[in-house]
Amino acid sequence: IGLTSRAMQVSSQIDEPDYGTLLDSMRFTATAGDVMRGMDMGLTHFKFFPAKTSGGLPALKALAAPLLAALCFTAAAQAPQPPEIAARSYLLLDVTANQLLAARDIDTPVEPASLTKLMTAYLVFDALKARKIDLKQTLPVSERAWKMPGSRMFIDPKMKVPVEDLIKGMIVQSGNDATVALAEGVGGSVERFVELMNQQAISLGMKSTAFRNPEGLTETGHTTTARDLSMLATRLMRDFPEYLGY
């Protein structure tokens, strides 16, 4: 875009009888060509010289026009290709510009696995923001949380664990026990918390997502899509910037 814009500026300057400005602009274009050549874009080295031929300004215009056109065409033709990724479905998003950079099968249903915890974190952060719970508040550990399979932070029913520690256990260790303890602390029960997860998914526009648990263990009907997860991740960052440190 920058090269195309500069080429347009050079083209407009050609009509002015200011050879110094013209040559400066043309030297800039040559430098851009060198950079592009260095990036394996196939350009050769260009050199520009003052036109001392009888053609004068028309001769310069005749020289510059095809070179500028070649530079602009090459820049447009060399758009980067998405990388090869060993994933059934993926999405790369520029959140600031809301621009999709690369994607594959973003609406194909997939199991979210531990990315389920993004929604659990969303609801926990929402409860913190609403002052329903506090970071220093301690929560009990139920038998259900204690016996969770998979990755854990190793809490047990004899413990009362601060909310902040449980958040770290869920996010850093992907602890299923910590996740269930948080779900019970916020929702009152895992079942009620899952209802809140699905309600929040609808509110965020996640039309192809259905949650069956807060931790992400495989369960029939527990599915999402790359598109829906991108919505959730984007809103998680925008709605709770104060908790991004976790």
Residue 174 designated active-site? yes
Catalytic site residue from 52, 114, 129, 142: 114
Residue 168 designated active-site? no
Q: What's the rounded Cα separation, in Å, for the pair 146 and 46?
A: 70
Catalytic site residue from 52, 174, 189, 203: 174
Return the H-helix or E-strand segment holding 139.
strand 138-140
For the chain, the C-alpha Rg in angstroms (whole number) is 29
Burial of 223 (0-12, 13-18, 19+ CB in 10 A): middle
Catalytic site residue from 52, 117, 160, 168: 117
Give Cβ neighbours of residue 51 (< 8 Å, ≥ 6 apart): 19, 57, 59, 60, 63
Q: What's the rounded Cα separation, in Å, for the pair 14 and 33?
A: 19
Q: Which two tokens stand for residue 217?
A: 């263990």
Residue 230 designated active-site? no
CB count within 10 Å of CB 202 equals 10
- Known catalytic residues are 114, 117, 174
